Chains A and B, each alone.
Chain A
Amino acid sequence: MIMADKKKPDASRSEQVPEPSDDELVSLARSGNESAFSKLYERHCKYVARLGYRFFMRREQVEEIIQESFIKAYFALSDYQGGNERSFVAWLGRISLHTCYDELRRQQRRSERSLGELTEEEAAYLQLNLRDYSVDGNVEGAAISRDLANKLLARLKPEDRMILTLLKLEDLSIAEIAGLTGWTEAKIKMRSHRAQHGLRKILKKFM
């Protein structure tokens, strides 16, 4: 599960200058304090980068996701309510996830065909490995490169891919995903069912 990197408290330093909380930094940033926003960026940039890498392979794409997410967060700072229930990380995660989703949809619109297309070698490699896996259930045999995994998952609908990633990779519950995406739990259950069915269909082609 993606967690925001928390800095280990340095005893000697923390006694001198206590680190301001995210909520305090947000209120400072709201009043135009640029360094407060930069501090927020430093704290949570890795979290957004990790989330970006869940959906995109290239570093430039992930950097774009980081930029977009922080820009959106900056202009939405006035909407942030803070408190324990809705931490800054959760709020930022929601913004980042929506940014990733938007970008996935944009990508699919731009190059619907080329996105999930495999080269002949890739298809052959996949068929060989997946057949081996299906015969003896050997996990190593199914070693799939990230590039290949991305190409296969690009054949799914963006929302299906997002749900699957959050469920299987992030280990989030349906309720947590509902909180992140803003969708209803029923919709997420239905989507996850469809996504799994879709994934099975994709994999079956190569087995």
Chain B
Amino acid sequence: MWRTKQNSHVVDQQKLDRLGEKLLQALEVNDNEVKSAANSPFLYRRIRVRIEKEERRITEELNQWMTLLNQARHAVPLMVMIAAIASGLVWYTPSPNNQSSIQNNAPQGNGFLNGEMTGLSSDEIMASLIDWNERKEQQ
């Protein structure tokens, strides 16, 4: 029974395969159809037009890149100059570490009144202020 079942399955498969081949053969085209598609008027012309369009697109794309490269080439000296100025500024300005150390060393309060800017001590400033007041009163 098992063998009969297997045989019928094999026959089925063979039938299906032959049918499948028929199905594929149904796709066969005759020469006239092929010729009419191949000899279609303006087909080559259309191909040429599309090729030219594609070539134009490629050229335009290439031109855009060239323009960009050209601009970049002009921008390079400017960028170098800016970079040089920037590095010069960095070189000549005190580094933040130095600035912070000055600020840390500075005494609390007003730097001017403390005589940092003038180089005078607070006692000398007070003395000169009193002296200046006395002279004004005398006048």
Contacts and interface: CB of A to CB of B under 8 A. Distances in A.
Nearest to A54: B27
Contact of B20 (A67, A70, A196): A196
Contact of A165 (B17, B24, B36): B24
A200 to B, nearest CB: 4
B51 interface: yes
B20 A200 contact: yes
B50 A144 contact: no
Given A49-B37, A149-B23, A149-B26, A203 B47 contact: no
A207 to B, nearest CB: 8
Query: Chain B's interface: helix, strand, loop or mixed, by majority?
Result: helix
A115 interface: no
On chain B, which size bracket covers the interface? 20 to 34
Nearest to A130: B19
B27 A149 contact: yes
A27 interface: no
A30 B38 CA distance: 23
B23 A66 contact: no
Given A41-B47, A71-B54, A204-B16, A169 B25 contact: yes
B65 interface: no
B134 interface: no
Contacts, number: 102
B17 A196 contact: yes
B37 A66 contact: yes
Contact of B35 (A46, A168, A199): A46
A203 B21 CA distance: 11
B16 A38 contact: no
Contacts of A146: 26-27, 29
Given A49-B37, A54-B27, A66-B38, A144 B43 contact: no
13 contacts: A38-B44, A46-B34, A46-B38, A53-B27, A53-B29, A59-B37, A62-B37, A66-B43, A67-B46, A67-B47, A74-B51, A169-B25, A169-B28
Of all A-B residue pairs in the complex, the 5 with the closest CB atoms, nearest first, are: A149-B26, A53-B29, A45-B38, A200-B16, A49-B38
Interface of B: 13, 15-29, 33-38, 40, 43-44, 46-48, 50-51, 54
Interface of A: 34, 38, 41, 45-46, 48-50, 52-54, 59, 62-63, 66-67, 70-71, 74-75, 130, 133-134, 137, 139, 142-146, 148-150, 152-153, 164-165, 168-169, 196, 199-200, 203-204, 207
Given A59-B33, A66-B43, 11 more contacts: A45-B43, A49-B38, A54-B29, A59-B36, A63-B40, A67-B43, A67-B47, A71-B47, A133-B19, A165-B27, A169-B27
